[in-house]
Structure 1
Amino acid sequence: MQGNSSFQATRWTLVQRVKEANAADAQEALNVLCSMYWRPLYAFARGYGRSMEDAEDVVQGFLAKGIEKALFSAADQEKGKMRTFLLTAFKRYLRDEHVKSVALKRGDGKVDTTDIAAEEERWADSKAVDPTVGFDKRWAIIVVESAREQLEKKYASEGKSDLYEALAGSLTGELEEDYQSIADRLEVSLSAVKVGVHRLRKRFGEMLRAEIVETIGEGEDADQELRYLIGILSD
């Protein structure tokens, strides 16, 4: 295994480190995964009707139990998207916690399945946004943020941090200056700025796609997943 200096926060790479690395690297990978996916899980719990405090508690409980039970060791790129794997595991955890809660309230350690059905129907009838949508939106944001971080690091490694900072707004259509003003400030030609924007967008697209490949199963369509995530962010 390589040292921490080459530690990359890509999804399946991190999962493999959890499974195969030495104890220190495995723990670091696990910490990154938990930190990375806390927000989507929290969004799902909130969308499911949990209070802020309860949502925080249930996510922390899930991740703690997941660490204890080697949650990510069960993730497998050959079996599909990590997004689906994680949400399925979290839903199962929420259901199990509800079962325990009902059992405690009854005081006899037994759970009537109608209690569970009533709970599920309660949230199915809720007017709140589908909690899965909230989860997927937070997931999409994390993927985009990760791609941008990798892009920024790439430009920094090439000694082009000033160029990146000047043009980064073009990725979202939020440039604070026009092209000519940027050219004047950077002391380059207008055409150089236009080419720079084109290259920046192209490289961002490549890195975004690479990030998505790191979250889907083998043989799955990265472009289809990309369209889905972009679409859900646009809603």
Structure 2
Amino acid sequence: MKKLVVLTGAGISAESGIKTFRDADGLWEGHDVLEVATPEGFAKNPALVLDFYNQRRRQLLTVLPNKAHYNLVALEEYFEVQIITQNIDDLHERAGSKNVLHLHGELLKVRSTKNPTTILEWRKDLMLGDLCKQKSQLRPHIVWFGEEVPMLEKAIELTEKADILVIIGTSMQVYPAASLVHYVSQKTPIYFIDPNPQITENRFANLIIIKELASTGTSILNAMLLQKQKSY
């Protein structure tokens, strides 16, 4: 089976009703990003940060995967599909995707502030005083700005092996995730799905832009890929 690597961003989850965090004015739900998504912000006002992610977690538990998520699952019948997502939701997993790597962490997990390898499943509000076994405060299992991206090397390794690369619902402006596109072979076909793509065909030799929302775009993608599959 050919290896199909899919990079997904906020655009694929937006159709499920997940807010994309950052508004046009740069604020995240009315907060400066430095307040709610940095280690310094957490150290300064942990209650504010915990409340911010508690609200995100509650919202996540009210939404469902959309057609785009299910379209990617359908491709597993024909390809070895690996999803690398910038999203912190679990919608890919709920739809049934078998191989999902979260670059920026997971909203339904928390970890120890003392031992980062102590990671727990978490579906309720996280409060000050919720401690790990080492009696240290738990924090959201999220990669904040200024922190290392521990899964990046694995993501690079997977991307380098891609026979086909698909990019969905991400501006490709957020690094280091945006750098992954440079790790595929020049001969690797790249499909870019976004209603307002911030990328041009002449930037990559084998770039196909599908200017649609994720749900419609993945339906078009699946038809294109299966047609090509038949011709092999």
Which one has a bigger Cα radius of gyration?
A: 1
**TM-score between the two structures when normalised by the length of structure 1:** 0.22
Structure number with higher helix proportion: 1
